[in-house]
Structures are given as structure tokens and as C-alpha cells.
Amino acid sequence: MKLLFIGDIVGEPGRRAIKVLVPVLRLQHGLDAVVANGENSAGGSGITPRIADELFAAGVDVITSGDHLWDQREVTDLLLNEQRFLRPANYPAGVAGQGARVFRVDGRPPFAVMNLQGRAFMQPLDNPFIAAQSIVPTLRAETKVILLDFHAEATSEKIAMGRMLDGQVSAVVGTHTHVQTADEQIFPGGTGYLSDAGFTGPHDSVLGREIEPIIKRFLAQTPQRFDVARGRTLLQGALMDIDETTGRTRSIQRISETLSV
């Protein structure tokens, strides 16, 4: 199975990159599935049903999220009504939505996606390690192909999760920092790993936002408006080739595609 995971989509430039580049990448790599983190796709913060529909129409099969999940109030409609949208699975019981699911796309082999949020330097949700241990066996009963989007700040927390799940999931890919790391690898048990997929959006920026207001904030510690930047736009993520029978990753590589103006 050829699976593309796309790092955090930031604002309109990121959405435009998805619309233009995902159809090209699907053909170029013969992709079976595309998963994207969409938690920053609405004006750089949160997601709405309309924007989710845009991403699905462009060729994204599953959308994951993270700590900006609640930034747009319309997200509740997604959580209640859209099976292809995931929130971190380690929210307390009773919270709307789902954090893991098996997907079947156009008759292709089933694959599962799980979304978890870290706790180091983040909002203290339930323990993601315990949540993973609880959820993975249920997913493996239906498919060996399992991708985890671990939305976390600390690299050590992400690596520890990958090591714990080695041999139990196909890949652990980190999101949240918006900085693509260069540590893609396959652990001994066959789990592909990348600490951070990077972000899809304007890269002449500070993590997708205009540069000057953020510098002013650091200089003066006064409130600033952090608008989404413009200019050079990249689609970043990880491309994986996964054995459908065993769930082991055969290869994992970073991608960083430029959107031509």
C-alpha cells in the first residue's frame, strides 16, 4: 500500500497546495490513501466543515487534528457527522467525535488511522501511551496497516511512542511543530517513523505566520495579530510503502513539494 501523510495544512495557501498538488502526487506515486493533518486549515487555526469538504474533494481521504481542534466552533458538526475526520483519541470519554478508525477507500485494502496528542508542553489530555495500548489491538483485528498521527511537541515523547508501538503499527508520524525533521527510519519491528512531517503552507514565514508581528511579540511582549503569511508555499509530509499483509513499512521518505505560482 502506498500511503501519503501530509503535515499540518496552514490557511488558504496550504489548502491551495492540497488542491493543486495532491492529484498530481496521487498519480505520480500511485497512492492508495492520503491522510492530512487539517487542524490549522481554517485561517491558520482550526477547521470547518466547508474546508474539510474542500480537502476531501481535492483527494484527501482522512483528516486528523490536534490542539487547535476547538478553534472554530463549527468543528462540532464535523465531530458528530463526518467519519473521515479524527480528533485526538486521548480526550476523556464522552467527548464528541472519534480518534481512531478503520477506513476502506474505493475497494482498496483496509487501513487504520489513529490520532493522539502528546502531553509534554501541551494541554494535559489523558495519557496517550495508555490510550495507544488500548486502541491498537482493536484496530489490528481488522487490519495490520495502521498509521498514527502523534500531535506532540517533545521529540522524546514522539520517539518513545514510536518505540513502544514498533511492530504493532505501520508508521508513527509526528505533527505540531511545523518543522520537518530528517530522522525518517524504520524501526526493527517494521514501524516507519518520522518525528515531524513539517507543514503545508507558506514557508517564508514563522511556522506559516507573517514574520514581523512575531518578531515584535518577542521584542516587546505585546499582543500582535498573527496572520497567515504569503509567498513560497510547500506541501510537506511523508510517503510510505507498507506491506498490506504484515503491516510492516518497506520504505518511508520525506516529501517537500513546491507549489508553483
Report CA dihedral (55, 146, 132, 126) to the nearest 10 degrees: 0
Q: Is 68 labeled as catalytic in the residue annotation?
A: yes
pLDDT (0 to 100) of residue 43 = 87
Give percent above pLDDT 70 in the chain: 100
pLDDT tens for each residue of the chain, 261 residues long: 999 999 999 999 999 999 999 999 999 999 999 999 999 999 889 999 999 999 999 999 999 999 999 999 999 999 999 999 999 999 999 999 999 999 998 888 899 999 999 999 998 999 999 999 999 999 999 999 999 999 999 999 999 999 999 999 999 999 999 999 999 999 999 999 999 999 999 999 999 999 999 999 999 999 898 899 999 999 999 999 999 999 999 999 999 999 986
Structural domains present in the chain:
2-258 (3.60.21.10)
Burial (0-12, 13-18, 19+ Cβ within 10 Å), 19: middle
Given the residues 29, 68, 176, 178, the one annotated as active site: 68
pLDDT (0 to 100) of residue 260 = 84
Q: What is the pTM of this model?
A: 0.96
Written as nine digits, the cell of 254 is 520525506
Residues present in the chain in total:
261
Largest CA distance in the chain: 56
User: Is 149:64 a contact under the CB 8 Å cutoff?
Assistant: yes
Mean of all residue pLDDT scores within the chain = 96
pLDDT (0 to 100) of residue 261 = 66
User: Is 31:2 a contact under the CB 8 Å cutoff?
Assistant: yes
Dist. CA 61–CA 162, nearest whole Å: 23
pLDDT (0 to 100) of residue 107 = 82
